[in-house]
Structure 1
Amino acid sequence: MSPARAAHYHGGMELDRFDRQLLNLVQEDAGQTAERLAEQVALSPSAIQRRLRRLREAGVIQRQAAVLDPRQVGRPTFFVVSLQVERERPELLAQLRRWLGAQAQVQQAFYVTGEADFVLVVTAPDTESFDALMLKLVEDNPNVRRFTTNVALSLVKRGLTIPVPLDEAD
């Protein structure tokens, strides 16, 4: 298989142009009906449903989620946190990953290269709640050496969309 074709091969499943169109559309709004999607993709609603089911079963679509207005649910503040750990021993990193994964306020956590070891996106209703979370982080994870925090002043863009090229050559 050529590298270009391999890039469009997922979990033993090759994605065609229709699959890629659907993936782009449902990333923007997963609540669209099969009928609405069929208006945008040259397939019948039943073919759309079959393809979406197949994409879910193959793990290409991992889950669907609602995007909320943070102000309307009492979480208006976002924090970008850089963590440094003392030692990068596998068992200590696994413990920290589990801890981060269990925290509802941690929206995203990345293990990264560079000066920081992890970069987090955290949401909280206020700085006091954020401070309490970070105190718990340090208490529960003594391997965390230090962290730095940036408070988001405004939301410019938020999303998890991964652009899916429509053609194999893209």
Structure 2
Amino acid sequence: MDTKDLEILHLVQSNMRLTAEAIGQDVGLSPPAVQKRLQKLRASGVIEKEIAVLSPGKLGREMTIIVEVILERENRAHLDAFKRKMRKAPCVQQCYYTTGEGDFFLILTVKDIQEYEAFTQEYFFDESNISRFKTAVVMDRVKVSLDVL
């Protein structure tokens, strides 16, 4: 990867709909050269996914909740089981396996506190390996980004 690749990545991470022509003008490359570089960045896994970022509030997902989860047992089978459940849980946007006191941190979007309560019943209270969890309700989305560069 060189500086041109980094410049391309900087542009596309904020707007994947930019044309190869527009990117080429900004970085000083021809459109075919930009397309070739983008193909290599996708094939190598640098570009993992091209997605639309949706507004949770406009889709009725008014609440964002951050949850710290502490497991009772941390062997591989229990960790993998929890990871699988979180990958399948529709309201979980992000799930991080972490060091420190908490084993996992989750970012959820829910329509209301009742939906979050139902989530806790299904994934925490009905799960024997959850030691405890701490909940923080987001008051303001100050910055939301997946930008790396």
What secondary structure is seen at the aligned counterpart in 2 of 1:115?
A: coil
Partner in structure 1 of residue 22 of structure 2: 36
Q: Note the residue ranges of structure 2 that are not aligned, 5 or more in a row.
A: none
Confirm or deny: 8 A CA contact 1:92 1:143 kept in the other structure: yes
Provide runs of 4+ in structure 1 moved above 3 Å: none
Partner in structure 1 of residue 5 of structure 2: 19
- CA 1:41–1:140 in structure 2 vs 1: closer, same or farther (change >3 Å)? farther
Confirm or deny: 8 A CA contact 1:96 1:141 kept in the other structure: no
What secondary structure is seen at the aligned counterpart in 2 of 1:39?
A: helix
Correspondence 1:35-74 to 2 at 5 A: 35-74=21-60
Counterpart CA distance in 2 for 1:148 and 1:123 is: 16
Confirm or deny: 8 A CA contact 1:37 1:48 kept in the other structure: yes
Correspondence 1:10-159 to 2 at 5 A: 15-139=1-125, 141-159=127-145
Q: 1:81-119 CA distances to partner (integer Å, 9 max, x unpaired)? A: 000000111000000001001112111111111111101
Letter in 2 for 1:22: I
Counterpart CA distance in 1 for 2:8 and 2:62 is: 32
Equivalent residue pairs, number: 149
RMSD: 1.1
Q: Which one is further off, 80-89 or 63-72?
A: 63-72
Counterpart CA distance in 2 for 1:103 and 1:64 is: 21
Letter in 1 for 2:17: G
Q: Note the residue ranges of structure 1 that are not aligned, 5 or more in a row.
A: 1-14, 164-170
Counterpart CA distance in 2 for 1:22 and 1:141 is: 45
- Taking structure 2 as the reference length, the TM-score comes to 0.95
